[in-house]
Amino acid sequence: MSYLFTSESVSEGHPDKVADQISDALIDNFLAFDPESKVACETLVTTGQVILAGEVKSKTYLDVQKIARDVINKIGYTKAEYMFDGSSCGVLSAIHEQSPDINQGVDRQSKEEQGAGDQGMMFGYATVETDNYMPLALDIAHAILITLAEIRRENTQVTYLRPDAKSQVTLEYDDNNQPVRIDAIVVSTQHDDFDDEKIMLEQIRKDIISILIPRVKSKYPKYEHFFNDDIKYHINPTGKFVIGGPHGDTGLTGRKIIVDTYGGKGAHGGGAFSGKDPSKVDRSAAYATRHIAKNLVAAGVCDEVLVQVSYAIGVAQPMGIYVNTYGTAKVKLTDGQIAQKVEAIFDMTPYAIETRFKLRNPIYLETAAYGHFGKPHQTVSKTFTLPDGTAKTMEVELFTWEKLDYTDKVKAAFGI
């Protein structure tokens, strides 16, 4: 029996994503000047106001106000009429020192014995649906908003766009769990005010379908035939969307955990990522399980897989590793036997994860919008500046957990 499956995404200007990006910018700045920093930073954004709160243990001092303002301006909140802009909003910091009771469970004399920063379970997922091993509905939803932001910044063909936006994609799957068509696409975008609401809605619908969607379609040659005239479009279905961003809706760090991961495919352990240094396994182990899942699928062990790992606070070794191939395994092993091999191939202690993926580098701002997974691994140059003017430029690797560097080890272990 065929079925429909839906995933959503939100833009970098969505209030929750504004909060995520500020929190991760703080993480990056702390790690740039003190790689051993322990940080758990939450951000709240609302009309004309940013509130920072959390726990930090670091040797460096930052101008958190400037960092927050720079992020807000880069996103595009640069006009007073938005009722939230980087130059004039208030920034209140309530960041304090990390609890020594928590820290004693993490730090050890030997780094290799570093304990998990908290209890919990984390999941990684991969599928052959797309070239980047991500679920197709989520990937298209991200692509819609990434492209919309590009069009907004070009400010040539479409000149009325504002930073806040959401998208949603519904796919139909056949009896073999293969996507066969796009059933519906929803796009809601913030915009400048129009004199005539009817003309406004017609113009936005026309521009989304004739300018945005063809650009998105070009990114999916394998699924080009999905982008046809049978798609049901819902463009700004509530009508006017002038008031948006943190003025229209308060934003908080960590509220878009499904957008950040797999769009509802697989599973989620419940822990958010942004604002957390890599000693917090909510973040680092979720990256590590994605790496496992992607390498398993790329190596030909299965076509789809979910990997779970779990921890106890202060304990280095995970409580266990679980694997579910959804019946797509290409090797003559049970999922339990596959999990045993995974445990032998991948060291999942917190220190090993931090080291394997170079997680004590300032690499997190780039993860804070349009998902933490499925983006290309790349090396970039980033510059950070202290309040006294001291600048530091670093070459860092982004999305190290997306590398297919374990496929040979996996093939050898599974006899592929």
For residue range 153-196, list pLDDT tens digits in order.
999 999 999 999 999 999 999 999 999 999 999 999 999 999 99
Range 120-128+254-414 classified under CATH 3.40.1710.10 = no
- 165 is an annotated ligand-binding site residue: yes
- 339 is an annotated ligand-binding site residue: no
- 98 is an annotated ligand-binding site residue: yes
Q: How far is C-alpha 402 from the geometric centre of its chain's CA atoms?
A: 13
- 101 is an annotated ligand-binding site residue: no
Give the span between the Cα atoms of 292 and 122, in whole angstroms.
12
15-98 in CATH: which number? 3.30.300.10
- 142 is an annotated ligand-binding site residue: no
Q: What pLDDT does residue 6 have?
A: 98
**Mean predicted confidence (pLDDT) in 60-88:** 96
Task: Name the token pair of 91.
Answer: 């920034």
Give the span between the Cα atoms of 68 and 392, in whole angstroms.
18
Q: What pLDDT does residue 136 have?
A: 98
Q: Can you give 33-85 as a three-state secondary structure string? A: HCCCCEEEEEEEEECCEEEEEEEEECCCCCCHHHHHHHHHHHHCCCCHHHCCC
Residue 104's pLDDT band (cuts 50, 70, 90): low
Domain 15-98 and domain 120-128+254-414 have a common topology? yes
Q: How many CB atoms lie within 10 A of CB 240?
A: 12
- 191 is an annotated ligand-binding site residue: no
3-state SS assignment for residue 341: helix
Residue 105's pLDDT band (cuts 50, 70, 90): low
For residue range 225-268, list pLDDT tens digits in order.
999 999 999 999 999 999 999 999 999 999 999 999 999 999 99
For residue range 324-357, list pLDDT tens digits in order.
999 999 999 999 999 999 999 999 999 999 999 9
pTM greater than 0.85 (yes/no)? yes
Give domain limits for the chain. 3-10+135-244, 15-98, 120-128+254-414
Q: Which of 252, 375, 274 is nearest to 40 (CA)?
A: 274
- 256 is an annotated ligand-binding site residue: yes
Q: Transcribe 78-144 into DSSP letters.
A: --GGGT--TTT-EEEEEEEEPPHHHHHHH--SSGGGPPBSS-EEEEEEEETTSTTS--HHHHHHHHH
Is 90 exceeded by the pLDDT of residue 22? yes
- 272 is an annotated ligand-binding site residue: yes
φ/ψ of residue 321, rounded to 5: -125, 130
For residue range 121-143, list pLDDT tens digits in order.
999 999 999 999 999 999 999 99
- 14 is an annotated ligand-binding site residue: yes
Specify whether the CB–CB gap between 290 and 124 falls below 8 A.
yes
Q: What pLDDT does residue 107 have?
A: 56
Q: Characterize 214-230 residue by residue with b for buried, 16 or more Cβ atoms within 10 angstroms of its Cβ, and e for exposed.
A: eebbeebeebeebbeee
- 193 is an annotated ligand-binding site residue: no
- 280 is an annotated ligand-binding site residue: yes
- 317 is an annotated ligand-binding site residue: no
Residue 112's pLDDT band (cuts 50, 70, 90): low
Residue reference for tokens 């349009």:
370
- 291 is an annotated ligand-binding site residue: no
- 196 is an annotated ligand-binding site residue: no
What order of strands is seen across the sheet that includes strand 304-311? 120-127, 304-311, 320-324
Helices and strands (H, E) in the chain, number of each type: 12, 13
| CATH for 3-10+135-244 (3.30.300.10, 3.90.550.10, 3.30.420.250, 3.40.50.12780) | 3.30.300.10
> Which pairing describes strands 161-173 and 3-10: parallel, antiparallel, or unpaired?
antiparallel
